[in-house]
Structure 1
């Protein structure tokens, strides 16, 4: 597991995912954060997550690792050194209540182990990013499939938006949003995270009450 500092996440960055939850696609990137200790490495391990606050939903995402401080105009090819596939785990019922009250999403998004990450791969650059799909298999069945080319806001736009407003530095990570197909996890579910058909993370869910 690499050292991780700030964990930035992007909401509603795939149109079909926004539609499946009945949400509008934002006019500019919707950014939220998770605590750094929400991040956990996946290596065919048991993944303990809270099961006492309602449904835990999986949201598979491409995640990028920042290698150097952000500067205006920097290319993503220079800013990011590695990438992986991760999960943005969400307490959906808690999130719905928070949204209705206009409250921050931290209780729904920032709980322990809510940012599982697959194995880090060298980032091969923007020119090849949309040439491969990323997928989530749940109990051996494909649950989600995505492609960076379907993002509402691309990696360059996200990096500039976050970097200029909040800052990006070495050790920060950027979750880039989930495609359609999110759903609930059950105790004992096994999952695999794949990039271009290669398994780069796996584990078994253990819901704790």
Structure 2
């Protein structure tokens, strides 16, 4: 039996120790900072974590120019700390969850906010607002052996040098070990999975030509430039 066509090559994310991390799936945590929940018009009470998924091929490396996507007039940034999973497991207990982390990175959850809100208001899935080409820029992955486990420290985003998001990882409503334990009840987490842990308050729109930088204390920055419209 032969393949009808050649499959796409795997998405490989560079690590700071010279390896390549094969990306499998993305889990993105929603409203995990209280101030961001409020700016989205939602109650910041510590409800159970919720998340949406993205394709691996939405990941692009730091330094990329990403096209302004079609179908939106409100293209927004969301700075994130990203967790790279290094081994598989299901029903992972919270006290063992950090053993499954290979490393950490900075990242962006780029969002067609108008499409997301339209879907949310109609009770529909968010896929069109979140899961599209080049929507998940990712910085260099730093292994735990290099940076340890990150539970506090600055997370910041600038647009053209102006600070737009500025918070601390300690403000996460659900820290990394809780997120891993929760997701692993519904899915078997596998090596190669990425978890985007949520964004602080201050999200906003960008235009073609804007330069975005995401910084997390102890990690390499993610830097992208917003390019021309994808259908230009």
| TM-score normalized with structure 2 length | 0.83
Superposed CA offset, 1:167-201 (max 9, x none): 21100000111000100011000111212276522
Give secondary structure in 2 for the equivalent of 1:75: helix
Q: Which residue of 2 aligns with 1:32?
A: 52
Structure 1's consecutive aligned runs of 4 or more residues displaced over 6 angstroms after TM superposition are none
The structure with the largest alpha-carbon Rg is 2
Q: Quote the Cα distance in structure 2 between the aligned partners of 1:39 and 1:49.
A: 15
**Where does 1:1-209 land on structure 2 (aligned, <5 Å)?**
1=13, 2-25=21-44, 27-42=47-62, 44-71=63-90, 72-73=92-93, 75-123=96-144, 124-126=147-149, 128-130=150-152, 132-196=153-217, 199-208=220-229, 209=231
CA RMSD across the alignment: 1.7
Q: Quote the Cα distance in structure 2 between the aligned partners of 1:142 and 1:110.
A: 26
Q: Quote the Cα distance in structure 1 between the aligned partners of 2:182 and 2:218.
A: 31
CA contact (8 A) 1:66 1:172 kept: yes
How many pairs align? 206
Q: Quote the Cα distance in structure 2 between the aligned partners of 1:207 and 1:84.
A: 27
Q: Quote the Cα distance in structure 2 between the aligned partners of 1:207 and 1:18.
A: 30
Give secondary structure in 2 for the equivalent of 1:156: helix
Q: Quote the Cα distance in structure 2 between the aligned partners of 1:198 and 1:136.
A: 13
Q: Quote the Cα distance in structure 1 between the aligned partners of 2:47 and 2:215.
A: 30
Structure 2: runs of 5+ lacking an equivalent: 1-12, 14-20
Give secondary structure in 1 for the equivalent of 2:221: strand
Q: Identify if the C-alpha distance between structure 1 residues 197 and 67 changes in structure 2 by more than 3 Å, giving closer, same or farther.
A: closer
